[in-house]
């Protein structure tokens, strides 16, 4: 039964990644139809991000009251409804309204699913599940492209993804008894189970202020903010840096930039195997070293060469283990009774990092120089490393 539920969760991660990149693929066709500036895509993105932050902060209370399975089902259903709303929207303001349930659904399911996997499965599954998310996120634009090039409209692309989300909702609803069985038998010493799942102590919901008062929580929250700031800034500005900062052809730079995400996806597949040998904190350090090497390569003034590409792929490979290993290690640091609350606030910090860091670098690129791209990433990486080591010291001190 545990393996059947795991298969459902794998499918869930693939499906959850599907909607994440389709707005960017559809927007060149959408904004002329709505007669709005191209920059208005940022407005939709901000509404979605705000919703994810709110629901992530509420995830502890929701999961404690309803359980991870029901929260996942409700959240995916909200996402499916929002995507269907997008597909029928007659005006831009309607898209903005549907972006609200889209964001609320995405944040809650992200926190609930990640915590459930962290509690009940080993680190390799966390890495592979996030690899599956990457496959889904890569497939979304292909679905939209198929719609646009096959004589359909962008509305059809959104509708198809919505239908897939409805199917996923039905699958999760059917599997709800498995979620309860898994939660009731967390002491089952199967090979797929994380040791931290053994804590079945009843707990109460924690507010964000309660989370901040936990020793080590601030360190892991800032660390997670930094990680998502590095990943989103690296991905968004890679092509522009190569064109404007390194003199690389625009088409070639665009193709190279896509390899960053391929590096993350492939790296997470590989990380799943490496976690069988190395614990989470070691995997995080390996990832940070690789990101650092990639940043250095990106900063080398080698002109129009392949070195920036090698650096970018290395950053992607380095990013791969950090996110899933931080999530998976959270119950070990803070206990199963607090992990849902901590992961919820972690998700909120992740969304803030993704929302704030890329546009801030845009200001730097516009008013100073885009050549500071690798140095900007390097400063954030250094803060991430310092926070991780401080977390390790706090954990060691508390368990001495």
Maximum pairwise Cα distance, the chain: 65
- Residues 221-242 pLDDT 10s: 999 999 999 998 998 888 888 8
Q: How confident is the model at residue 246 (pLDDT cuts 50, 70, 90)?
A: confident
- Burial readout 93-119 (b: 16 or more C-beta within 10 A, e: otherwise): eebbebbbbbbbbbbbbbbbbbbbbbb
Q: Is the dihedral of CA 156, 158, 160, 163 positive or negative?
A: negative
The mean pLDDT of the chain is: 87
Write out the two tokens for 359: 């546009």
**Common-topology check for domains 2-183 and 208-398:** yes
End-to-end CA distance of the chain: 38
Q: Which of 277, 236, 273, 278 is nearest to 258 (CA)?
A: 236
Task: Find the mean pLDDT for residues 23-52.
Answer: 86
Please tell me the CATH code under which domain 2-183 is placed. 1.20.1250.20
User: CA-CA distance, 382 to 40, in Å (whole number)?
Assistant: 33
Please state the domain extents for the chain: 2-183, 208-398
> What CATH homologous superfamily does 208-398 map to?
MFS general substrate transporter like domains (1.20.1250.20)
pTM, full prediction = 0.83
Mean pLDDT over residues 370-395, rounded?
95
| Segment 249-280, tens digit of pLDDT | 877 887 777 788 888 989 999 999 999 999 99
Q: What mean pLDDT do residues 330-348 have?
A: 91
Two tokens at 243? Answer: 């064109």
Q: Looking at mean pLDDT, say which of 181-190, 304-313, 342-351 comes out highest.
A: 342-351
Q: What pLDDT is stored for residue 200 in this prediction?
A: 44
Strand, coil or helix: what is 60? helix
pLDDT value of position 184: 52
């Amino acid at each position: 039964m545990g393996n059947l539920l795991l298969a459902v969760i794998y499918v869930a991660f693939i499906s959850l990644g599907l909607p994440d990149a389709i707005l960017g693929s559809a927007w060149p066709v959408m904004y002329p139809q709505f007669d709005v500036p191209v920059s208005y895509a940022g407005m939709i993105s901000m509404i979605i991000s705000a919703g994810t932050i709110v629901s992530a902060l509420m995830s502890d209370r929701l999961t404690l009251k309803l359980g991870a399975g029901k929260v996942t089902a409700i959240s995916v259903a909200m996402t499916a409804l929002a995507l269907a709303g997008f597909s029928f929207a007659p005006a831009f303001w309607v898209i903005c309204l549907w972006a609200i349930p889209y964001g609320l659904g995405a944040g809650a399911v992200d926190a609930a699913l990640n915590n459930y996997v962290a509690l009940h499965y080993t680190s390799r599954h966390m890495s592979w599940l996030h690899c599956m998310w990457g496959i889904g996120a890569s497939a979304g634009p292909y679905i939209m492209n198929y719609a646009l090039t096959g004589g359909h409209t962008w509305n059809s692309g959104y509708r198809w993804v919505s239908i897939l989300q409805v199917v996923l909702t039905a699958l999760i609803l059917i599997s709800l008894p498995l979620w309860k069985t898994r939660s009731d038998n967390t002491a089952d010493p199967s090979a797929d189970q994380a040791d931290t799942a053994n804590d079945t102590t009843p707990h109460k919901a924690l507010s964000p202020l309660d989370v901040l008062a936990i020793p080590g929580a601030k360190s892991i929250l800032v660390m997670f903010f930094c990680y998502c700031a590095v990943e989103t800034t690296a991905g968004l500005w890679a092509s522009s840096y190569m064109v404007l900062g390194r003199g690389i052809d625009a088409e070639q730079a665009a193709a190279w930039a896509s390899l960053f995400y391929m590096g993350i996806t492939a790296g997470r597949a590989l990380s799943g195997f490496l976690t069988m040998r190395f614990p989470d904190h070691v995997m995080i350090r390996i990832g940070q070293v690789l990101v650092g090497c990639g940043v250095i390569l990106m900063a080398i003034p080698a002109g129009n060469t392949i070195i920036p590409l090698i650096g970018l792929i290395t950053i992607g490979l380095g990013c791969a283990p950090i996110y899933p290993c931080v999530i998976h290690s959270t119950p070990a640091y803070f206990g199963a009774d607090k992990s849902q609350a901590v992961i919820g606030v972690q998700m909120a910090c992740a969304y803030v990092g993704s929302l704030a860091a890329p546009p801030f670098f845009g200001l730097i690129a516009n008013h100073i120089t885009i050549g500071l791209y690798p140095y900007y990433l390097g400063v954030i990486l250094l803060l991430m490393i310092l926070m991780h080591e401080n977390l390790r010291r706090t954990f060691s001190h508390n368990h001495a």
